[in-house]
Chains A and B, each alone.
Chain A
């Protein structure tokens, strides 16, 4: 087995890297693939919480790197999907506890036993990001459709190019369909023109994501959820399938039209 290493990164914090890592892990594992999610945000770990596995942690990434346990011992099996694993970050250490070489070695070992290795990168461009970038085969750059996020992504893509890694693929998260419709949101075309990398996913703003994140049940498990569908589509695209981007414009229902008629301002 030679697994692929996908690093999920953004530069800016809070755009949804951890949520995306958990959901892509779930979506790939639901397709019958063996997946391990690695939280490389040492000192500020979150992925375990989002995946609902916090209370099962015994060993973490730093324990593996420093030889206190075997790799298998640090791999926590998911509650729902037997082929999904998590390697949590250490909470009591910082980014200097791991080097880029450690990450490359760790991922080389994981490659022999998994189909996909997803690395949740910390925000920023320092050591933690460099560590997450070092072993990557594919890099997903996450952005929100806002200027500051796009600017940071541009910087990140520059660093990825300088390190001669890649390909980098773009994921636009938290798009609000109604704002896009009114032209109040940064247009996807403008973002793509500036960043000049391939788009691999568009995820709509979805309150269920917040609810599911807090509950530790990734939204990709919900069959009908729109954001969950978007994550499942990205997973399929990673596997090499051609999946058309879903239309975010909900068809105008009677009640939509009625409510707009009643409130013409669209408040």
Chain B
């Protein structure tokens, strides 16, 4: 089975051949084992980052999650999955993986836009968009922004490097600006998380009385504050 590896700006891009998934996965993992020396030869401090082009493979969350675990067991990081299958793309996004490469990384983008764009405007290039309800036990981790259209149930977790926007009820745990961005915000139609974290501030929102209304939380004077979310 033919597997191509090439170096790109963000790390390595691996292109997979077509075939049944168990075979392709086995071949890939064997290839990674065979090439372990080469993959780790970069001698950089960070673990080598892999982007995977899976072609038209339709992958479920379990399969992709399993693959990510296998890859990380080999001391590598899977950060992106590129596919022409919409299902696979959605699965990848659910797992907090990028689905496009050659995007400026989130941190770099934030710095660049601070000066380049007028206040309040930002290009959300490295955001994941999730259109489903996140249930208990589900963890969505992503270095950029996170947009959820659906509910975030108690017991679910969102950890984002940037902002978190939930078009629905936010009742799980949410951490915006997880890499220390104190300007990160959290918005939801019903902002009732079990715990709300922005950068290194942790807050427990008070019990809501009455009808929920859209709110936005941000850090003000070193404290997490929520206020009505108006256009």
Contact = CB atoms under 8 A, between A and B. Distances in A.
Interface of A: 125, 151-152, 154-155, 157-159, 161-164, 194, 196
30 contacts: A125-B137, A151-B136, A151-B154, A151-B155, A152-B136, A154-B135, A154-B136, A154-B137, A154-B153, A154-B155, A155-B135, A155-B136, A155-B137, A155-B155, A157-B135, A158-B134, A158-B137, A158-B138, A161-B135, A162-B60, A162-B61, A162-B62, A163-B60, A163-B62, A164-B60, A194-B151, A194-B153, A194-B154, A196-B133, A196-B151
Contacts of B135: 154-155, 157-158, 161
Contacts, number: 34
Chain A residues touching B, majority SS: helix
Which 9 residue pairs across A and B have the least CB separation, nearest first?
A158-B135, A154-B136, A155-B137, A155-B136, A162-B61, A154-B135, A154-B153, A151-B136, A151-B155
Interface string B108-152: 000000000000000000000000011111100000000000010
A164 B61 CA distance: 9
Given A154-B137, A155-B136, 18 more contacts: A125-B137, A151-B136, A151-B155, A152-B136, A154-B135, A154-B136, A154-B153, A154-B155, A155-B137, A158-B134, A158-B136, A159-B137, A162-B61, A162-B62, A163-B60, A163-B62, A194-B151, A196-B133
Contacts of B62: 162-163
Contacts of B133: 196
Interface string B44-61: 000000000000000011
Interface residues of B, number: 13
A145 to B, nearest CB: 16
Contacts of B153: 154, 194
A101 to B, nearest CB: 13
Nearest to A125: B137
Nearest to B61: A162
Contacts of A125: 137
Contacts of B155: 151, 154-155
A196 B138 CA distance: 16
A167 to B, nearest CB: 15
Contacts of A157: 135
A194 B61 CA distance: 22
A226 B154 CA distance: 33
